[in-house]
Structure 1
């Protein structure tokens, strides 16, 4: 085995002064052809890397192929999961911005990444945005054959999407806690999900009903960032992370058996909670000379844990094959195997990647994938029919070639049983040659068309013969598997990447078979007749399913293309209009109307009459839909005979338009609705297709600021009243509230910004460095944050510039905005002796309230842990006891009791939070006994429950 940690694989904040600082990586996944690996991180980006420089020192030193292939930047929050489709055609990513994004190849998207010095060698575009989750998307999984895509999140929901049309099919809602892991049965019959409600649920794919629920191994499991689980390639077992034995003191991975859905096997050895399990995609044979039957099959599974170690197990052995201790500085977030089963990748929250490359001798009994396919067919499961007109199976063409065999792949074939069903052998391991011919296309563009140059073995399918021209044309091709590779880094079909190369051989003394006798079929090589051909270190992998050039010079149609490219194109209201460039200018009006916040001054001063100021009327206003390229526009005209227009534009196409009786002042838009504020105080709300979904609202006075989030719309009028509506429910969240109460707190006080959260909480930031929200339970304005805390709080982080706004929580963002307006703090000023402690505790209490008010569970937990640490450091026993009792609640509390105490806060169990608090208190000499006593009480309460 060879181990490496490529230092250049990293996510970093380009806006940070400390360029060497690594940001956490939460997920990784290898492309099915092994040529590239995708990672997701705290920087809200998806990055695609070439694997050849990772596995080959010479390639790394030469810089060929490029190490970084592409950076994708459409997410607005940390990317928690990335998963390639089995076909390799699409990449799915999930983020804490609550969105699942599907990416497809776009050759025209190459070039410099906006806002940075990075350059995309290959281009990927957002093919479709999949909204539907109401909180962070924590894990994704493609079903066998890419028939479905499953997504899970912190909203406790499991969403099922069609793997072809990308439409949402089902919503599964039986989990009672955050869902943090998902995997598919390789047969396609079941789906498994893992949740913080301490259960693994198994769902039937034929009717999406619950098949089984497994709870016992997880009864004492603590909270973890992820609960990634994996299904064995033979379909016999699920290995689930974050399980425990012996009352929660032994951390294990639970192995759940198919059919009985019980866990009688445990993988024991890690010293902390296990975050992720990942099975090797291959079946292994206990005795390669024996038939492929259940008793002769075993699997290889890798585990990653919070003890910073990785273990690899083969199910025929009671001990792990490999234990790599302290590989990282922090916990392991994700694991992924290459499709050939010989390379394991791991990423950690410390921002690094580790790679384990195995020899076939070390993973004894590795069988080809064809063995797995025939074995799984014995289950007799018939999957549901595909959408009409879609198919993943296509006849291969002369461009759809498999890569040349690496030494390791040939070894695997040499060691596999020759009598294994479906196992193909070939004497000609190198296959035929191909020469690239430049073929002219329309618009004088050229593409490289590989063609065969003899040397083809007799076992090459006839469909791969260049003389055969018939292709399936009855349906468009969604993601397809075949790949081809070349000897140099030369653009073949618009996508350049590296194939999996055998790393530097170790000195372990293991014998290696020469790659001469067997292969999975003839695998052709590319030769370049021109003199500009790069060296051998530079390898290009062609993914034919991603090819943007077809036989007739057109890009091969995808499933989404098929839906959009219908013979009869539907009409759009205003779709035939030609968009013209607009020069923004001020218009004259009978009175001075308010403007859009984006065009207004940075501070809104109150007029003497108590109204907010009225800014200039502009001829053009707009609002962008976050996470998309869609724009909601408003156009005003000086000629009063020309009506005011509002338009919804997607790309360069006008989707719909409408005319308003008075000039438009401000706009806002979300994925759920668009709203326009007019000069006469009217608010017009549209659906994404242009339907008026609520009656026109008449406020009587013009709008000063308009804001939206998901289904929530907020308007601040020029008279100082705030209105907040839930557009989906068509109701107000509370009566109109005046801002005069908070503006009267100081002379010359003014509003800097006003916005709204998705839970309906308005946020008003004042020039006095204070942020407020309205609490409908208290019927009063409350403070979210105050620049006062910067005077002495140890945890005031508002002055830090280390992370982008998109990757921070809302409370942190508010503090940063306040800090920008604060004057320099006098560090020499004398303070009372308890000054810092008092302000730090007060600041953390305010943070927890703010996180609760603004529905930010992650920030609440962070503030709670810091609060507990401060109490423990200063040994405030009375405060510690009060906090413990508040989180524990009544000793004999049961659901349904008429009690004001709630067992959860922001969707998280208070007693789960108490475990983290007690763990902090247990490290304090003064509070150690108190923590131990309450830990015993908590365990008894959980067992009794």
Structure 2
């Protein structure tokens, strides 16, 4: 390694930023001057191939940004300085703390150094730009602003602002970390929080993760980058937090007879700060920790754009690793780290007397450039033998493709979820939901506090330790209430005193105890006479669900109308200090109090429907109000704590902690169907043991549609709806269909479709007609489909449990076995039939009519003539074809669309011609 220290003569200015574009090194001064050097010339000078005098003569003329001359100011008496520099190809962007400028064709040889400048955006005090980053792949510029506390996304080509993400007033964004693969960006905030967003080319975004790794951020200009393979997220100045953070659970963890719940949200502010690398493919868990020998916190962390490999010829193995450079806030020490060793590979101890303002690697990964506060350019020229052998860019792209694939975002209707932590340490949730004008009023939509972008599954790991596992779920039609930001109290493990664990006997009847097993949590026997410690009906219930913890205060804003806010301030739970419930309406930047109520109990959840508001207490009492505060119903006494309280349209759904399901029509003031239980769908027998309490599947979502249909999804991926006519739970999505159906998750399952298509190369031959392809495309693009949404949640569970590899193995091996040749087509038809039946129950008219055409064409192509005849007979209905099947679609219309779609299938024409003649379709066509 060779070091070149080159002082720059800058009068009353200092070097603030440095970047590399192609083979040029660009330095930015506080006055807005950009000095351009050749990377090769600096390296040659460092290794003594070029003299200092020759280097000085080769320096290019500076690029002057007229806006940032010394005497310019922002109009408020503050000197304007340039802090940020980025660019790609012919585009160069320079920004101060109040303005962003762009020039094109910056590298043209212009002796007068005059370039045309475009103003991308400007901000007036007290708004200040805290960071900017440029996505070189999609040409999107990300800008962080304080005092309005927002994240703005610009299209660099036309200088147009695409998106503005408004954060809470107390959350000041400090710095942004950009994903080199162009999928996500991460912001580090002043409130020690970390937020990971997904974005796309059109500027749409979605909060996909709030990381439980607190950071200590000062109001400085930090410089942080990610590795080229984009698998590690570097977090500087990380404060060691608890084993589980205060990340909120968006749905109750549910078990039969017993369950686990979320962890405590304690936080120690006295813990030491370190730099950690989080593995984005492992739920952002800590993959490595960098403990710097310097006492000050980190300010600059930059990864090399190359990836290196060290081969062991004796063992015939190789080790791949990244290199990153770090520097602190106070001194001028530069450290280079190997990600596989986590020890400094190179230590330039106090190479500068002043702090390092910025660092950048050359594109080949062999040279590190740094600028200090005293205007010195440092060139660290490494030899290949110093760092290791570089891998090809193709290998880096392959590593990127192995990262978790996020569901693509829509081109319109931005969906954003923002979780915030209140002063009391309790979690709250504020949601932005798009206005879907295209959705018909009769289409049932999933609503309320189930999940929108994030669902949390909470599993018990030990006696005093819990783990929160998050999965993604994207459906723009889902409305999330404050229930998504709650913590849950685990169910009781108390059982009657006379119940004991039984010793399992051996199969030979010897009565010997079984081999020693892993120790389990001991039960807590107690008597039930004259005690108020536990409600007896909970202890003797077959189901025990987690119930929400009591928060000091929280707010709920319905996603359908952001102008209304219900405020809950819990008192002491008695008459001395009652709970205050108030509803506010915001008009013209003023809050108007619509009504207020006092209740001598603790309130845990609240929700809203079309014309009513509802909240529940910790002891199972539900209060229902009108918009003006009028009581629509007397307080409803459920008798046990409530785990889910949801509302949509005219309906209110309640699931108690003992698994009882209620669904009321508030307009009619009666039950929509008799009280039922969620016990049948939990499948406790799958995890049966000799213990009194047995585990079952977790409930990951519970909600209700606008037509009053309850929906529930479980941690095994299955989804259910409740049929009020049959008073029975019906299966909507099953992971078995993901293994065998060619049309599983038609909206977002590229992984599953690729596997299915790989198993049967002729599957696409059935869909040559352009009109059929159009129907399939419409079904795939229906983002409001409830079935599509539930199937995506099944995919999430398969991905979370690592069962995708089993699916691939299944597609390649099982389908090739003798006797299973036609299994794929049978499972595919079963999947389509189930979707049709569910659409009938949900009254999804458009989706049903499109799926019916796909299903019938599939039957015709496969030669299932009798089954196709059954469908046509059902539609013909003995000649009564004017009777509607669903709203807006008569049997004749559906029958006509099916017959036209199957007209070119020769071996079913004998069946279709009879029905076409009966309804007069052939004569009309002729």
TM-score normalised according to structure 1 size:
0.36
Please say which structure displays the higher CA radius of gyration: 2
Task: Give the number of the structure whose residues are more often strand, by fraction.
Answer: 2
